[in-house]
């Protein structure tokens, strides 16, 4: 068996390199040797969430791991045969459940039978996809490609306590379809939602009001929702439902981040997206690549690709014989196309 060498300091040098490589190793049956894992991060090596990504992938495909310890910079993974079924994976911290889902979901699409997966940890974590992004933005795109996947939030989990729970139901893929997102269409509905646990009502009121003010003209549906979680926390969403796609921007409240800063950051991301001709936002652009490469390809119009996206594309090329082109259209947008 050939072993693919993955240098974790390449490109953006973070956890996405590990997650994409683990998924593709399991699907293609190729062994991987990781070095310099997450070398470009403040705390390099495997953290709890990253270690669980490796352990979960190995369990799902009957693979073997060596070096999968907390803080490890080097690890070997030899995959086996992918098996569907019921799984439960607990990060044991507020580590992000949606990032673990990113790793195992593509693997279980190639399983021999349906799967039900319980993930425990954080569902609203800074600098990571929220559960709502997974459920209302990413999964609808995946279904357009032919996948049958649903997600259910049993309990939210905020940093630093965690304790959230997400359930995924995944059917093996039957037939892939190409994905084309080059026209977003008009905005049908805009929503601003503040979600919190054991938080002063006025904080969430202010977040929604400031975000609405920063977005300027237009009608916005607003909601302030108190939820039950093991620890206190807060997140603000701004969701844009367009004719052909939904995008969602979110910022988690933090102890050193004012309610105004939370609202302004969410509005800034949304305004940047709306002022462009892009259809797919920068975060979704990164996440769609793997599935398009595994499936029937396609293309989408997006903002200038992030280093995450460029790095992800290069890792995919290491495992799959696929062309990924990123064309600068000279108007602030790129057309990214995956050719099979």
- The yes/no answer on whether domain 3-175 falls in CATH 3.40.50.410 is no
Instruction: Give catalytic status of residue 308 as yes or no.
Output: yes
DSSP character at residue 219: -
- Rounded to 10 deg, the angle between the 97-108 and 15-28 helix axes is 20
Quote the pLDDT of residue 217. 83
Catalytic residue among 308, 309, 313, 319: 308
Closest Cα partner for 74 from 12, 156, 18, 11? 18
Q: Which pTM was predicted?
A: 0.96
- Which residues have a Cβ under 8 Å from the Cβ of 170 and sit 6 or more positions away? 84, 105, 108, 109, 111, 114, 115, 116, 117, 147, 148, 149
Domain covering 187-275: architecture: 2-Layer Sandwich (3.30)
Successive 10-residue mean pLDDT values, the chain, 340 residues: 92 96 98 97 95 98 97 98 98 95 98 98 95 98 98 97 97 98 96 97 97 93 97 97 98 95 98 96 97 98 97 97 97 96
Q: Kindly give the residue spans of alpha helices, DSSP state H, lying in 110-237.
A: 131-133, 139-144, 201-214
Domain ranges (residues) in the chain = 3-175, 187-275
pLDDT of residue 218: 85
Rounded to whole angstroms, the Cα distance separating 77 from 4 reads 10
User: What is the spatial distance between Cα 85 and Cα 7, in angstroms, rounded to a whole number?
Assistant: 32
Rounded-to-5 percentages of helix, strand, coil across the chain: 35, 30, 35
């Amino acid at each position: 068996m050939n072993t693919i060498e993955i240098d974790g300091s390449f490109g953006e040098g973070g956890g996405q390199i590990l997650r994409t490589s683990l998924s593709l190793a399991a699907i293609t049956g190729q062994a991987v040797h990781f070095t310099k894992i997450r070398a470009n991060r403040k705390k390099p090596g495997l953290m709890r969430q990253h270690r669980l990504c490796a352990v979960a992938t190995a369990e799902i495909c009957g693979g073997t791991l060596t070096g999968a310890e907390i803080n490890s910079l080097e690890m070997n993974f030899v995959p086996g045969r992918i098996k569907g079924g019921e799984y439960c994976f607990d990060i044991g911290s507020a580590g992000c459940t949606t990032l673990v889902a990113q790793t195992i979901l593509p693997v279980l699409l190639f399983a021999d039978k349906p799967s039900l997966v319980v993930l425990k940890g954080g569902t609203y974590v800074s600098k990571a996809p929220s559960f709502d992004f997974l459920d209302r933005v990413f999964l609808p795109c995946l279904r357009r490609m032919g996948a049958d996947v649903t997600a259910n939030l049993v309990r939210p989990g905020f940093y630093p306590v965690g304790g959230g729970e997400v359930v995924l139901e995944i059917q093996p893929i039957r037939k892939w379809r190409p994905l084309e997102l080059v026209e977003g269409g008009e905005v049908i509905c805009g929503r601003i939602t503040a979600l919190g646990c054991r938080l002063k009502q006025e904080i969430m009121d202010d977040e929604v009001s400031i975000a609405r003010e920063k977005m300027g003209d237009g009608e916005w549906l607003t909601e302030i929702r108190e939820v039950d979680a093991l620890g206190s926390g807060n997140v603000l969403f701004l969701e844009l439902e367009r004719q052909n796609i939904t995008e969602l921007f979110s910022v988690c409240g933090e102890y050193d981040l004012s309610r105004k800063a939370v609202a302004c950051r969410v509005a800034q991301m949304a305004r940047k997206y709306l002022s462009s001709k892009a259809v797919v936002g920068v975060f979704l652009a990164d996440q769609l690549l793997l599935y398009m490469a595994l499936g029937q390809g396609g293309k989408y119009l997006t903002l200038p690709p992030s280093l995450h996206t460029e790095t992800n594309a290069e890792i995919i090329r290491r495992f799959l014989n696929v062309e990924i082109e990123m064309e600068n259209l000279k108007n602030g947008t790129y057309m990214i196309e995956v050719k099979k």
